Amino acid sequence: MSTDISERGLVLLGCGKMGSAMLEGWLAGGLPATSVYVIDPNPSDWLRTTGVHINAALPTNPAIVLVAVKPQMMGAALPTLQAMGNGETLFVSVAAGTPIAHFEEVLGAQSPIIRAMPNTPAAVAQGITAIIGNSRATAAHLDMAEGLLKAVGEVVRLTSEAQIDAVTGVSGSGPAYVFHLIETLANAGVAQGLPAEMSMQLAKATVAGAGALAMQASESPSQLRVNVTSPNGTTQAGLEVLMDEATGLPPLVEKTVAAAADRSRELANDA
């Protein structure tokens, strides 16, 4: 963890599920608890055991402020940070739907700002986060943000903020699509005569195992699919339904991701 962060301090604005997951990763990675200042109106019992500063006076020039409040709380929370703007402090936001321009408007256009889009598997350190900085965010700032966000999974760097909406549609909202796939796969097993509990166990393990294999295998997901598919076998019979170009998964997933990305754009315009 950066010496600069250890010495100047890190401010975490909001410590719900995402904030807690990140904080747990930072502390496990060696960041001193005494370097962390958490602002949260309802600190959890776990947070109170960490040794970090909770709702205390903040350092005047922290190395980084990570904004992890819910979008609807942003209006009240951000002005409390204005004094740190237009300086050396890096601001990183993991709040959905709030564009960089809004942060520049409140904190000052000279503030280095990075917008990040994580996803919920960050809670088990299996997340993936996309980041993009404003013109004041340097390569060193991006490296610092990536180092922090790697505590909860992988990090990718975008080339434009407009890509955030597509990321939201794919990985931001994507876990919910997979959870629904587990639900429907389990229900389909019940329809074929399996006990509900067993069918859910099979569905969860299958999706988790296939995901792990896709991450670890050298072959592409397309090739892994081919590997499982024997000619005229059971998998082919199922895939003929799932891969139908008119009624199968491809057009459905395309519409799903587009709907989420469109909604992300709408939220950004409303901010």
Total domains present in the chain? 2
Q: Are residues 86 and 183 in the same domain?
A: no
Task: Work out the average pLDDT over 37-45.
Answer: 93
What pLDDT score does 95 carry? 86
In a domain, 119, yes or no: yes
Give the residue numbers spanning the domain of 135: 3-164
Q: Are residues 148 and 186 in the same domain?
A: no
What pLDDT score does 2 carry? 64
In a domain, 67, yes or no: yes
Q: Are residues 52 and 123 in the same domain?
A: yes
Q: Are residues 157 and 185 in the same domain?
A: no
Q: Are residues 126 and 186 in the same domain?
A: no
In a domain, 169, yes or no: no
Which residues lie below 8 Å from residue 133, measured CB to CB, with a gap of 6+?
Answer: 112, 113, 114, 115, 141, 142, 145
CATH of the domain at 233: 1.10.3730.10
- Whether pLDDT at 271 is above 70: no
What pLDDT score does 252 carry? 97
- Whether pLDDT at 149 is above 70: yes
Residue after which a domain boundary falls, among 123, 140, 164: 164
For the chain, what is the radius of gyration of the CA atoms? 21
Q: Are residues 40 and 153 in the same domain?
A: yes
Residue after which a domain boundary falls, among 111, 142, 164: 164
Rounded distance between C-alpha atoms, residue 104 and residue 139, angstroms = 19
Residue after which a domain boundary falls, among 141, 164, 187: 164
Give yes or no for a contact between 112 and 86, defined as CB atoms under 8 angstroms apart: no
**pTM for the predicted model, two decimal places:** 0.91
What pLDDT score does 113 carry? 98
What pLDDT score does 1 carry? 55
165-200 residue pLDDT tens: 999 999 999 999 999 999 999 999 999 999 999 999
Three-state SS string across the chain, please? CCHHHHHHCEEEECCCHHHHHHHHHHHHCCCCHHHEEEECCCCCHHHHCCCCEECCCCCCCCCEEEECCCHHHHHHHHHHHHHHCCCCCEEEECCCCCCHHHHHHHHCCCCCEEEEECCHHHHHCCEEEEEEECCCCCHHHHHHHHHHHHHHEEEEECCCCCHHHHHHHHHHCHHHHHHHHHHHHHHHHHHCCCCHHHHHHHHHHHHHHHHHHHHHCCCCHHHHHHHHCCCCCHHHHHHHHHCCCCCCHHHHHHHHHHHHHHHHHHHHHHC
Q: Are residues 154 and 184 in the same domain?
A: no
